[in-house]
A and B are shown apart, each in its own frame.
Chain A
Amino acid sequence: MTDRQNGTIVGIDVGGTFTDLVQLDPASGKVRLAKVPTTVENQAFGVMNALDAAEAELAAIDLIVHGTTTTTNAVLERKLSRTGLITTQGFRDVLELGRRTRPHAYGMTGNFTPIIPRDLRIEVPERVDAAGDVVVPLDEDAVRAAAERLLAEGCEAVVVHFLHAYANPGHELRAGEILAEVWPNDHITLGHAILQESREYERGVTAAVNASVQPILDRYLKRLTDSLSEGGYDRDVLVMNGNGGMVSARLVAREAAKTVMSGPASGVMAAAYTGRQAGLVNLITYDMGGTSTDVALIRGAEPPVSHEIEIEYAMPIHVPMVDVRTVGAGGGSIAKVNAAGLLDVGPESAGADPGPICYGRGGTRPTISDANLILGRLDAARLAKTGAVSAGDVAQAFARDLAEPLGLDVTEAALAVIRMANTKMAGAIRMVSLSLGADPRDFALFAFGGAGPLHACALARELGVPRVLVPARPGITNALGCVVADLRHDFVQTVNRPVHALEKGALAGVFAEQAAAGKAMLDRERVAMTGVRHVYSVDMQFVGQTHLLRVPLERPDVTPEELQALFEDVYYARFKVRLPEIRAQVVTANCSVVGERAPLDLSVLVDPAGRKATLEEAQTGARRVRFEDGWLETPVYWRDHLPLEFRLEGPAIVAQMDTTVLIEPGCVATGDAHGNILIAVGEVP
């Protein structure tokens, strides 16, 4: 293994609109950043453009870590490769029937398209029961015939999905062998290999997603690695997975489904990393972009990983993913007056195109971003440079659509839009944290994305969150996540035993096996690590319940008495209920094996040469900004000019290339050694 402990690392994140790059040379402390438009058809062009823009010397780079939306987009836009399914006789419609649901609780309309069409789902005689016993032997000729039919239909990938294969994979493995003889490529997914859990719909969809994106990811990574080699890069490319860990590009396509939703995951990884360095280990990440706001809950600097995420209606992907929830409003969310004469914000959005009125791309309906502009929170002077629309146009739309029907003036209407948006976002964030068993007041708000730092103070107040953390580079957080992420492998083992029935050492044994499996996988990756960390937890419930509560464990060898007590405490903290009369049980034992990489000094993200000695020198001007209590003359600072240590009392605005930080009256911002802005959120003055 080459030692790359101190080599140059490049993180590249391809987002919906922009491809972001951060290049770090830990030895010299040099940093380069780049932001270029994403090239939708072939993301590799954008990646190469970003490397050009950063003037990166490919031959001198030691490690490239890449976050891609290739598979996410393929799934969400249903631009999938033609894929066939071979499944148990009597069950080909599982993917079309789903779990007997509907898209919305109210309204009997709506539908979904199954991920594999019915004519490409072929049944073969075979059956295994829940105990793993064979009821009907596998008809091998039928598997061959099915494969030939799917090839004749033009399928590029194939899934084998048999009932109860998690209990006995024999038939799937044999079908896999047969397929290997006739299938022209290695795009063969066996259901049990991607997910070893019961629930045929979720496992089937997950396997089908894996197969359908595999050829796409494969082709993309080939194009990318070819381009990189041509440019002189001769090392491994690591690809970000949805669980916030990285996997070699050589291996990643086998489990392609794991790369879905990796973009938001890397943002959360960066947040956890930044928070740990800043001494804030409990964070609510708050990523407000143009179309949506994503939220995740980080406890003890550990990003939350879930195995049960449904990325849209009828699209469950049950591989480990950082649990990021979309809570609605983004800067483009539209404000309107509804039939009851009340103001409402979202869920309708102007998106990125046409976007808010102030983008000047043809948007005509008032949005959250437009409200921020009217209130002076966004810089109207910058808008004027585009020339497409004026502040007057925005005000006119507010007068017409909101102010007149509500009997307010334009400013009051804009303020109302912000208040309403914040109330709704706060409500949604509170629901997310409560559903995960946490009180938001125990957290700090980590604000990023284009609009996050603009709303963070107000939102924190609404939630009772005492502190806001704005990282040095909120606009490239995902790319930073690529650079700081560890290698990571997650394991879940079903236990399903009451605490008192656990044999001595049984749990520790499970954890030991998981740790060993993780170690073996880390050993295969060609990346330098400083150590291996294990994160242990159990999912528990009272006997008879169906919901689970996660109980973190500090060490793998806990006694049944300790488990019962730990669970009761977690349960009480969540529900304020004690149930001493009912036994607890352990449902799963979980272990994450994390290959830690050398820590990076984040303070390099802000070039020290740009820093001014005093706040006065960092100030670029002032403008009038409307807060709850009226218009206030508000100083504006340039982020890169701020001294390393400072103390700023609101109202104040800190502007930077990729975002605007609004420090509200009553709040106090300070800088820390890592280039973060920390805001103590005070009561309304």
Chain B
Amino acid sequence: MTIDPITLSVIQAGLQQVCDEMDLAFSRAAFSPVIAEANDRSDGIYAAEDGALIAQGAGGLPVFVGTMQYSTATLIGMIGEGRVGAPEPGDIYIVNDPYLGGTHLMDVRFARPFYRGDRLFCWLSNTGHWPDTGGAVPGGFSASATAVEQEGLRLPPVKLFKRGRMDDEIYSIIYSNIRVADQRIGDVRAQAAALDLGAERLGALMDRYGDDVVEAAIAELRERAAQQMRRFIQEIPGGEYGSVAWIDSDGVVDAPLAIRLKVTREAERLVFDFTGSAPPCLGPMNSVRATTLSSVYLAMRHIFPDVPISAGAFEPLEVTGIEGTFLDAQYPRPVSGCAAEVSQRIAEAVFAALVQALPDRVTAAPAGTSGNFALGGHDPAKGRDFVMYQLSGGGYGGWADGDGLSNGCSTIGISKAPPVEIMEQAYPVLYHRYALREGSGGAGRMRGGFGLDYELELRRGQAKASFVMDHGRFGPQGALGGGDGAPNEVTVWRGGMPYTPVHLSKEQDIPLGPGDRVRVKTPGGGGYGDPMQRDPGLVAEDVRLGRYSVDEAERLFGVVIEEGAVDDVATTQRRLG
């Protein structure tokens, strides 16, 4: 069946609408602030035969681009092998196993078969980040875990809903193994209701256009998305583009982990070869296959935002060489850092390789860490325990037409940071500063954005501070001659004495008492292009605004500033010298 291009466009918009409505319904009804506020969730439609991504909500967390097609494919495979019960209308499977097409344990996936008559037409699936799934530390991000069991409860695909009814026995197993369990029922119902809504909407779409037409349209759209991606790939001059990106350490062994990437454009395909990357690590900075692939897709979508999120768009992209590396970890390697940190470093490697090929489209490296600082303890004034998270952003990389954004969100996220006032209402802390980190933007013709510089004090009680951050050893890399952004810095003041974590950006359970302080300076973005070519007027403006010192202007940009104005003669001499 051939479909006219108009019907095709209309059905494409309709499928997108179904997913967007699922995203919205999930967030609005969820209890977990990670889902409701930070939108750490995603919803999509997947093919019945192989789980291929048909459409996914535009408002989903970027890190989930593509992940659910692997978890759905795994589920379909396991059903085929008889390892999981066959689907019936109204069933919903739950799974969070990282090695079965997932991310970390906290990302819990639901999958619902969608029927037309007796026929399984497709799958609807969503992922939501639960605040806790058990394990050694609240929240699941243990910097020192050495096995997945320490990270939380691992669920293989099981039917949580059978023919529309929740299986209370399975839920009670989950309930008994997670923290703050009483509110999870709200998230479970929100997550399931979003899929039910999707089923209703998709049904209406198919009633309107006809099953045959929609089915043919899906096939055609897949082909067209591939065609669109191939057109973009053709913008890339043929050849090989190499890059290396570094993770500070795995949190357990204090040695950097390399991501080595070689991107090759072959005709209409793009091959991402990760051969030579570090082997699986002892600590939680491993990635799993689905997350690694998604990270590549995510980076490509940052470069080409117009490409629809669809299996077709990923077809011309081939990822190789991850077997045996920490980018394809197997059970029981710990993986809590995969979605928040490793994914961003994979994206950095892609940016660093492709900025050479597409200098007008790609930026220098962004801060690229989720900046996870957790403070857990007891508040004597309120008579209760607390766990506080401060996730922070950093500078973005400069790009052909502009300087990088300051204090941007992580590459894989889209959420807002909580205000200082809200943090101080909820937790026994007082912030002494929440400021632009001066001098942190990487120098370049277009400079990087600036990181964040915050310092807070524990006002009462005892607490333990934990950090899962990155880019402490190496700053976000500059591009095309630009300088690196400033690396992440953590200083803990205990009894008036400064302490720097051994792994710089990662450490667990540093004890704090009243009056002790934590100061974090997040990374600046990488600079783009030769800093000696930056417009001296722009350098002077940054100096006037106190973003760089007079000394930095001269040292980094070769711009000599006298009494607030550019000294043209001295600048020319300095830049020539």
Interface centre among B9, B399, B415, B436 (most CB of A within 10 A): B9
A547 CA / B422 CA spacing, docked (Å): 16
What A residues does B415 contact at CB under 8 A? 101
Q: Which of A209-217, A260-268, A423-431, A528-536 contacts B (4 or more CB under 8 A)?
A: A423-431
Contact B306 A100 (CB under 8 A): no
Within 8 A of A (CB), among B1-59: 5-6, 8-10, 12-14, 16-17, 20-21, 24-25, 27-31, 33, 36-37, 58-59
Contact among A90, A112, A135, A416 with B434 in the assembled complex (CB-CB below 8 Å): A90
Nearest CB on A from B212, distance (A)? 20
Q: Which residue of A lies closest to B397 (CB)?
A: A108
Contact A119 B424 (CB under 8 A): no
Nearest CB on A from B59, distance (A)? 7
A406 CA / B6 CA spacing, docked (Å): 9
A577 lies within 8 A of chain B by Cβ: yes
Q: Which residue of A lies closest to B192 (CB)?
A: A577
A198 lies within 8 A of chain B by Cβ: yes
Contact A105 B59 (CB under 8 A): yes
A518 CA / B511 CA spacing, docked (Å): 52
A90 CA / B436 CA spacing, docked (Å): 10
Contact B402 A118 (CB under 8 A): no
Within 8 A of A (CB), among B304-326: 305-306, 308
Contact B225 A118 (CB under 8 A): no
Contact B396 A108 (CB under 8 A): yes
Contact B5 A406 (CB under 8 A): yes
A90 CA / B193 CA spacing, docked (Å): 45
Nearest CB on A from B147, distance (A)? 31
What A residues does B59 contact at CB under 8 A? 105
B503 lies within 8 A of chain A by Cβ: no
Q: Which residue of A lies closest to B197 (CB)?
A: A576
Knowing A198-B425, A338-B306, A430-B17 touch, does A101 contact B431 (C-beta < 8 A)? Answer: no
Within 8 A of B (CB), among A58-97: 90-94, 96-97
Nearest CB on A from B455, distance (A)? 8
B171 lies within 8 A of chain A by Cβ: no
Q: Which residue of A lies closest to B312 (CB)?
A: A340
Contact B5 A342 (CB under 8 A): yes
Q: Which of B120-128, B262-270, B405-413 contacts A (4 or more CB under 8 A)?
A: B405-413
B421 lies within 8 A of chain A by Cβ: yes
A200 lies within 8 A of chain B by Cβ: yes
Question: Binding site of A, secondary structure by majority: helix, strand, loop or mixed?
Answer: loop
Contact A109 B401 (CB under 8 A): yes
Contact B302 A108 (CB under 8 A): yes
Q: Which of B91-99, B134-142, B489-497, B542-550 contacts A (4 or more CB under 8 A)?
A: B542-550
What A residues does B425 contact at CB under 8 A? 130, 198
What B residues does A431 contact at CB under 8 A? 17, 20-21, 24
A217 CA / B399 CA spacing, docked (Å): 38
What B residues does A420 contact at CB under 8 A? 6, 9-10, 13
What A residues does B29 contact at CB under 8 A? 547, 574-575, 577
A279 lies within 8 A of chain B by Cβ: no
Knowing A107-B305, A109-B401, A547-B36 touch, does A93 contact B435 (C-beta < 8 A)? Answer: yes
What B residues does A119 contact at CB under 8 A? 544-546
Contact B414 A108 (CB under 8 A): no
Within 8 A of A (CB), among B404-445: 404-409, 411, 414-417, 419-422, 424-425, 430-436
Q: Which residue of A lies closest to B201 (CB)?
A: A430
Q: Which residue of B lies closest to A416 (CB)?
A: B6
Contact among A198, A576, A581 with B419 in the assembled complex (CB-CB below 8 Å): A198
B484 lies within 8 A of chain A by Cβ: no
Knowing A96-B406, A97-B406, A423-B14 touch, does A130 contact B421 (C-beta < 8 A)? Answer: yes
Contact A342 B8 (CB under 8 A): yes
Knowing A100-B416, A342-B12, A582-B186 touch, does A111 contact B432 (C-beta < 8 A)? Answer: no
Contact B420 A544 (CB under 8 A): no
Contact with B along A133-167 (1 / 0, CB 8 A): 00100000000000000000000000000011010
What B residues does A104 contact at CB under 8 A? 305
Contact A99 B31 (CB under 8 A): no
Nearest CB on B from A179, distance (A)? 23
B69 lies within 8 A of chain A by Cβ: no
Contact among B14, B21, B232, B419 with A339 in the assembled complex (CB-CB below 8 Å): B232
Contact A102 B405 (CB under 8 A): yes
A547 CA / B190 CA spacing, docked (Å): 13
A163 CA / B430 CA spacing, docked (Å): 11
Knowing A97-B406, A338-B228 touch, does A105 contact B58 (C-beta < 8 A)? Answer: yes
What A residues does B28 contact at CB under 8 A? 435, 437, 547, 574-575
B231 lies within 8 A of chain A by Cβ: yes
> How big is chain A's contact interface, by range?
35 or more
Knowing A129-B424, A198-B421 touch, does A427 contact B414 (C-beta < 8 A)? Answer: no
Knowing A164-B424, A577-B29 touch, does A419 contact B430 (C-beta < 8 A)? Answer: no
Q: Which residue of A lies closest to B23 (CB)?
A: A431
A341 lies within 8 A of chain B by Cβ: yes
A199 lies within 8 A of chain B by Cβ: yes
B185 lies within 8 A of chain A by Cβ: yes
Knowing A97-B407, A108-B363, A431-B20 touch, does A577 contact B419 (C-beta < 8 A)? Answer: no
Contact B301 A106 (CB under 8 A): yes
Knowing A93-B435, A108-B363, A434-B24 touch, does A544 contact B393 (C-beta < 8 A)? Answer: no
Contact B193 A97 (CB under 8 A): no
A129 CA / B459 CA spacing, docked (Å): 11
Contact A339 B228 (CB under 8 A): yes
Contact with B along A550-575 (1 / 0, CB 8 A): 00000000000000000000000011
A39 CA / B224 CA spacing, docked (Å): 48
Contact A102 B432 (CB under 8 A): no
Contact A108 B403 (CB under 8 A): no
Contact B185 A581 (CB under 8 A): yes
Contact among B393, B405, B431, B547 with A90 in the assembled complex (CB-CB below 8 Å): B431
What B residues does A575 contact at CB under 8 A? 25, 28-29, 190, 193
A163 CA / B425 CA spacing, docked (Å): 12
Nearest CB on A from B382, distance (A)? 12
A315 CA / B428 CA spacing, docked (Å): 30
Contact A343 B9 (CB under 8 A): yes
Contact with B along A420-446 (1 / 0, CB 8 A): 100110010011001101000000000
Nearest CB on A from B124, distance (A)? 16
Contact A110 B405 (CB under 8 A): yes
A582 CA / B185 CA spacing, docked (Å): 9
A412 CA / B7 CA spacing, docked (Å): 12
A103 CA / B405 CA spacing, docked (Å): 9
Contact B6 A90 (CB under 8 A): no
Contact A200 B421 (CB under 8 A): yes
Nearest CB on B from A380, distance (A)? 23
Contact B193 A577 (CB under 8 A): yes
A201 lies within 8 A of chain B by Cβ: yes
A596 lies within 8 A of chain B by Cβ: no
Q: Which residue of A lies closest to B17 (CB)?
A: A427
B392 lies within 8 A of chain A by Cβ: yes
Interface centre among A341, A344, A408 (most CB of B within 10 A): A341
A545 lies within 8 A of chain B by Cβ: yes
Contact among A100, A110, A412, A546 with B33 in the assembled complex (CB-CB below 8 Å): A546
Q: Which residue of A lies closest to B18 (CB)?
A: A427
Contact A100 B392 (CB under 8 A): yes
A170 lies within 8 A of chain B by Cβ: no
What B residues does A117 contact at CB under 8 A? 545
For the complex of A and B, list the 9 residue pairs with the smallest distance between their C-beta atoms, beginning with the closest. A90-B433, A100-B417, A340-B228, A100-B393, A99-B416, A106-B305, A340-B224, A93-B436, A118-B545
CB within 8 Å of B: which residues of A? 90-94, 96-112, 117-119, 127, 129-130, 135, 163-164, 166, 198-202, 338-344, 406-408, 412, 416, 419-420, 423-424, 427, 430-431, 434-435, 437, 542, 544-547, 574-577, 579, 581-582
CB<8 Å pairs between A and B, sample of 10? A90-B434, A93-B434, A97-B452, A108-B302, A109-B402, A110-B402, A200-B420, A430-B17, A431-B21, A545-B186
Given contacts A106-B301, A166-B421, A338-B306, 6 further A-B contacts (CB under 8 A): A90-B434, A118-B436, A198-B421, A545-B30, A575-B25, A577-B29
